[in-house]
């Protein structure tokens, strides 16, 4: 079977149906795909059915594709049999290099060489996961955020032997499934999102160590402040809007201010190449929108967010 176009995939395999695999299965079913699942645990099939049932009301709210059916899955205890006839594989076994490398290599026996195998690994590098494969060029990491049926982000990461077209295909397949696929230019521990979470969380530990504020207040400093803005357009575009002149003005001044904070991560240095990459990248991210238009977009989305949260943790 040749690899179909990303929007022509009809049948996918989900190997390992714990928290993450079960949620992937629910997402793929909601997109009208047929799912072939496998897991060695006890009561695998019933437990998968329960997880799909848990995610389904959320998926109904997000919108189902034509043909979406929570029962359109089959279960096979043998993973090699489960992947047969599938046009994409999402592996979600435990985060152990040995387990994943052996499992992914074993799945090849049931697949044509060009069928993409994506691992949900959250920290293991794809170069390690593909190491024992006959066709490592079709192996990637497709790292979701829990639960994958709700949080749009999936990080698409290739190893040393991954073909660039595999990354393009996978990013487009995930996009077709309604995800926001972020393609890394190269592999790195923690990928992008967990590195960002790690940097913030190191500072939370630092603030707690110095007993600066309660844990609830440190959380609120994020969820009622930058978190609302970051949910809409991310840190760099927001800082672009924090200067009337533009992002270049921010990058030339604010990082020096960070250095007066004695942050958990030590000193921040912005060298010339990094500065250029950041300034050019933010200009590209504006998509030609001026600051007024961007600020209106930000404000409108935050009003919607605040309206949704009102009555829970915002004052009336
Ligand atoms: N939990 C999270 O928030 C999260 C988020 C993103 C990515 N991930 C990654 O997703 C993967 C799965 O994590 P999880 O949280 O679903 O774990 P989990 O423990 O809930 O599920 C793992 C499943 O894999 C099965 N399994 C065990 N050995 C297997 C094998 N050899 N072949 C196939 N299946 C096997 C287990 O029976 C279990 O059902 C890990 O790589 C993890 O790092 C987790």
| Residue indicated by tokens 């929570």 | 70
pLDDT in tens, 217-247: 999 999 999 999 999 999 999 999 988 888 8
pLDDT in tens, 129-138: 999 999 999 9
Tokens found for residue 96: 């152990």
CATH topology for the 6-183 domain: Rossmann fold (3.40.50)
Per-residue DSSP letter, 91: E
| Residue indicated by tokens 């999102």 | 193
Mutation test residue for ligand 1: of 18, 42, 96, 123, the one with most atoms within 8 Å of CB: 18
Q: 159 CB less than 6 Å from ligand 1?
A: no
Q: What separation in Å is there between the alpha carbon of 48 and the centre of ligand 1?
A: 13
Q: 94 CB less than 6 Å from ligand 1?
A: yes
Tokens found for residue 56: 């389904």
Given this model, what pLDDT does residue 268 score? 74
Tokens found for residue 107: 């799945």
Q: 93 CB less than 6 Å from ligand 1?
A: yes
* Residues belonging to the chain: 316
Question: Quick one: which atom of ligand 1 is closest to the CA of 144?
Answer: 6
What is the rounded distance in angstroms from the CA atom of residue 311 to the CA atom of residue 307? Answer: 9
pLDDT in tens, 186-229: 999 999 999 999 999 999 999 998 999 999 999 999 999 999 99
Residue 62, Cα to own-chain centre: how many angstroms? 17
The residue ranges of every structural domain in the chain are 6-183, 224-309
Helices 226-241, 291-309: axis angle to 10 degrees equals: 180
Instruction: Look at residue 75 and give its three-state secondary structure.
Output: strand
Q: 21 CB less than 6 Å from ligand 1?
A: yes
Question: Quick one: which atom of ligand 1 is closest to the CA of 95?
Answer: 41
Nearest to 170 by CA among 137, 146, 194: 137
């Amino acid at each position: 079977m040749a690899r179909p176009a990303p929007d022509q995939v009809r049948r996918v395999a989900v190997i390992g149906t714990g928290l993450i695999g079960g949620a992937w299965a629910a997402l793929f079913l909601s997109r009208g795909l047929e799912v072939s699942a496998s897991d060695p645990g006890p009561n695998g099939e019933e437990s998968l059915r329960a997880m799909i049932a848990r995610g389904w009301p959320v998926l109904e709210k997000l919108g189902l594709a034509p043909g979406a059916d929570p029962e359109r899955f089959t279960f096979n205890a043998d993973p090699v049999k489960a992947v047969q006839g599938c046009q994409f594989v999402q592996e979600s076994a435990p985060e152990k290099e040995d387990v994943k490398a052996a499992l992914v290599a074993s799945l090849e026996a049931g697949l044509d060489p060009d069928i993409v195998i994506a691992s949900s690994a959250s920290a293991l590098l794809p170069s390690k996961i593909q190491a024992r494969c006959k066709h490592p060029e079709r192996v990637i990491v497709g790292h979701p955020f829990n639960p994958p049926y709700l949080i749009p982000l999936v990080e698409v990461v290739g190893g040393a032997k991954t073909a660039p077209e595999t990354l393009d295909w996978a990013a487009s397949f995930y996009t077709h499934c309604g995800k926001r696929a972020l393609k890394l230019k190269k592999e790195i521990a923690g990928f992008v999102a967990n590195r960002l979470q790690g940097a913030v969380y190191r500072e939370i530990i630092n603030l707690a160590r110095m007993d600066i504020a309660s844990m609830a207040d440190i959380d609120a400093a994020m969820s009622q402040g930058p978190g609302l803005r970051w949910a809409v357009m991310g840190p760099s575009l927001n800082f672009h809007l924090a200067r009337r002149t533009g992002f270049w003005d921010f990058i030339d001044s604010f990082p020096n201010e960070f250095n007066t904070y004695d942050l958990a991560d030590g000193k921040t240095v912005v060298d010339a190449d990094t500065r250029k990459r950041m300034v050019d990248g933010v200009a590209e991210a504006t998509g030609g929108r001026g600051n007024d238009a961007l600020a209106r977009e930000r404000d409108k989305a935050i009003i919607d967010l605040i309206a949704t949260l009102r009555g829970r943790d915002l004052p009336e």
